[in-house]
Amino acid sequence: MSTTSASAAKDQVARLLTLVPFLHSHDGVRLEEAAAALGVTADQLLGDLKVLLMCGLPGGYPDDLIDVDLDALEGPEADGVIRISNADYLSRPLRLTPTEATAIIVALRALRSSAREETRAVVDRALAKLEAAAAEGSAARHIDPGEEEPGRLDLVRLEMDLQDAVSRQRQVRLTYFVASRDEQSERTVDPRGVVSAHGYTYLDAWCHSARAPRLFRLDRIREAEVLDTPVASAPEPPRDLSEGLFRAAEDTRLVTLRVDRPARWIVEYYPVEEVRSRARGALDVDLLVADERWLQRLLLRLAPHARVLSPPELDQSFTRRAQDTLSLYG
């Protein structure tokens, strides 16, 4: 990478680090207003937003990436308002491991020795908070540079409560945030066990609302109440997620998409089963889909450069959805 390219990439990372918290605190801001506030041109900001589409939580699964409504910013129907979704975790307080906290403390102490007086005041406040948390022996749980997100649970205590419900075979009432639909749902489940995959912890349970087994990410559980009622489904051990989250799920479907060259990027950002090259740069992509609504939103985003090859009923349902969407502009 050339010096110029490296410098441009560094500048863009700095802009994105400023852009993310700005958009979180200025919901529905117009592109021109945001550009003026951030000190960049509207074109530059639009380019940064296209990069933001590729950012999110580790794992790269459909509900891990930030979603930016580019249709609202480009084209004849655009209203120029920036809308982002699937970024609720941006307001959550920073959680550091003891090792990470110690490394930051050492770095801040080194910075303090050469800092000016006004900078030292800021460093001292940060050090006081970090050292106080580390002194209690659990920096990962206590370090919190901002206000606690309303409804966020202590994950350690939550996991203990869920494990207790599993051992006593008691039902649990959950309030759960579904990131792919940006909504909260309430349901009663029969817990089977707490499992981990890709750096996340999940409750594996029989969901009475879905009438099927489901995995619930612990950091998306807003409320959990262990009930006195015993589980109603047949007791089963939790699933083994060692081969991957999607392969373990029993409610997924194998879908084949034909994507044209402009939509080939999806194979880099979503887990796929197989990719086959076709004429004129097109690809046939096999992927596992757990939620048909997520697939329809993805296809609307890729249109007209993607379509469903199989199963055919999904292509028909998408066609109806696209026609209904277009009718709103009539």
The domain segmentation of the chain, as residue ranges, is 3-91, 98-142, 155-245, 253-327
The dihedral sign for the CA sequence 284, 288, 291, 292: positive
Of 123 and 305, the structure prediction assigns the larger pLDDT to 305
- Residue 96: the pLDDT is 63
3-state helix, strand, coil in the chain (%, to 5): 45, 25, 30
- Residue 181: the pLDDT is 56
CATH architecture of the domain with residue range 155-245? Roll (2.30)
Residue 77, φ and ψ in degrees, nearest 5: -95, 0
Task: State the residue for tokens 């329809």.
Answer: 296
Cβ atoms within 10 Å, residue 85: 11
Which is nearest to 178 in space by CA: 225, 216, 139? 216
Asked whether residue 227 carries a pLDDT value surpassing 90, the answer given is yes
Average pLDDT on 38-43 reads 85
In angstroms, the Cα distances linking 109 to 119, 124, 127, 166 are 12, 9, 8, 45
Which of 107-116, 135-144, 254-263 shows the highest mean pLDDT? 254-263
Q: What does the pLDDT look like over 251-303, one tens digit per residue?
A: 678 889 999 988 888 877 677 778 898 888 889 999 888 778 878 888 888 88
- Residue 11: the pLDDT is 72
Could you give the strand order of the β-sheet that contains 274-277, starting from the edge strand earlier in sequence? 274-277, 283-289, 253-259, 306-310
Across-strand partners of 257? 285, 308
The whole-chain average pLDDT of the chain stands at 76
Q: Quick one: what percent of the chain has pLDDT higher than 70?
A: 73
Of 324 and 311, the structure prediction assigns the larger pLDDT to 311
Say which range, 64-68, 132-136, 160-164, 302-306, has the weakest mean pLDDT.
132-136
Asked whether residue 315 carries a pLDDT value surpassing 80, the answer given is no
Of 160 and 110, the structure prediction assigns the larger pLDDT to 160
Say which range, 16-20, 186-190, 323-327, has the weakest mean pLDDT.
323-327
DSSP assignment letter at 323? H
Beta-carbon contacts of 199 under 8 Å, excluding residues fewer than 6 positions away, are: 58, 59
Helices (H), 236-305: 245-248, 266-269, 292-302
Average pLDDT on 319-329 reads 68
The three-state secondary structure class of 218 is: helix
Average pLDDT on 68-91 reads 76
Q: Quick one: what percent of the chain has pLDDT higher than 90?
A: 12
Tokens of 248: 């373990």
Which is nearest to 288 in space by CA: 260, 257, 262? 257
- Residue 182: the pLDDT is 58
Average pLDDT on 188-195 reads 92
Asked whether residue 317 carries a pLDDT value surpassing 80, the answer given is no
- Residue 145: the pLDDT is 36
Average pLDDT on 195-217 reads 83
- Residue 146: the pLDDT is 37
Q: How confident is the model at residue 162 (pLDDT cuts 50, 70, 90)?
A: very high
Average pLDDT on 104-115 reads 72
Asked whether residue 66 carries a pLDDT value surpassing 60, the answer given is yes
- Residue 245: the pLDDT is 55
